[in-house]
Amino acid sequence: MKRAAALSALACLLAVTAAAPAVSVTPARGRDTASRAAGKTSALDAVPRRGVLRVCTTGDYRPFSYRDPGTGRYRGVDIEMARDLAKSLDARPRYVATTWARLVGDLSAGRCDIAMGGVSVTLARARSAYFSEPTRTDGKTPLVRCTDKDRYRTLRQIDRPGTRVIVNPGGTNEEFARSHLKHATLTVHPDNTTIFDEIIAGRADVMMTDASETRYQAKIHPQLCSLHPDKPFTFSEKAYALPRGDDEFKAYVDQWVHLATHDGTYRKYEDAWLK
């Protein structure tokens, strides 16, 4: 009799449970929901709390990022943009020195919150980092002595025995040169701030770099000419590299870039260097 009563009670409990409405669990709302689920805090929240935006930058790529060796101060289009981004997050920028070869690795290792300074979007980098909405389009084009401007307009003219091409290490300039040059002599120069002096002095003939950089270097060095910067050999875009997985921070930076590139802010900083 006791067993029958127990079975009857169990059947009633199961019937009530089955009839009860399902309880749905609503994800917590807020800008760092996904980050909390993954056990991480988004930079969108961490930066304002810290009061510092850590910016990885090479400091060797004018007009975007240049570190004055005498004062240690950083200047450039993206340095101004970094200040604006930090201010929007109630923080100040702190620049973290890096190199082109280490840039994505330093970002992935958490040494900075964002990488800025003329960073080109590449699929290889995109495997390890997010990219923001682009700030500008660009592409590789030659920079040469003005006296040689008719000798090196095409890749065929450049890729000949006897042509001395110079590149800085670890970035897309070296990658492009190694991929396209089979006959010219290629020299890797370790300092991207003095590499253009090698061409002026006659120790190198050509550097192929982003059109924006060739325009700037031709502006400050009358001996150098940027060849067809409006029609470069390649298409690329500049953007800011962000930690992979931090969707909240990426969404914020995307919106910030979108506004800055449409309200004249980015153009104002760029014109100050390029015009």
What does residue 115 show for φ and ψ, rounded to 5 degrees? -115, 125
DSSP secondary structure string for all residues of 55-80: EEE-SEETTTEEE-TTT--EESHHHH
Q: Which superfamily is assigned to 140-226 in CATH?
A: Periplasmic binding protein-like II (3.40.190.10)
Give kind and range of the element (H or E) at residue 136.
strand 136-138
Task: Name the residue among 209, 237, 44, 275 with its Cα closest to residue 123.
Answer: 237
Domain limits of the chain? 44-138+236-272, 140-226
d(CA 21, CA 33): 26
Note the pLDDT tens digit of each residue in 31-85: 444 444 456 899 999 999 999 999 999 999 999 999 999 999 999 999 999 999 9
| pLDDT for the residue numbered 40 | 82
d(CA 192, CA 62): 9
Q: What is the largest CA-CA distance in the chain?
A: 110
- The CATH T-level fold of domain 44-138+236-272 is D-Maltodextrin-Binding Protein; domain 2 (3.40.190)
d(CA 138, CA 236): 5
Q: Do 44-138+236-272 and 140-226 fold alike per CATH?
A: yes
Note the pLDDT tens digit of each residue in 151-204: 999 999 999 999 999 999 999 999 999 999 999 999 999 999 999 999 999 999
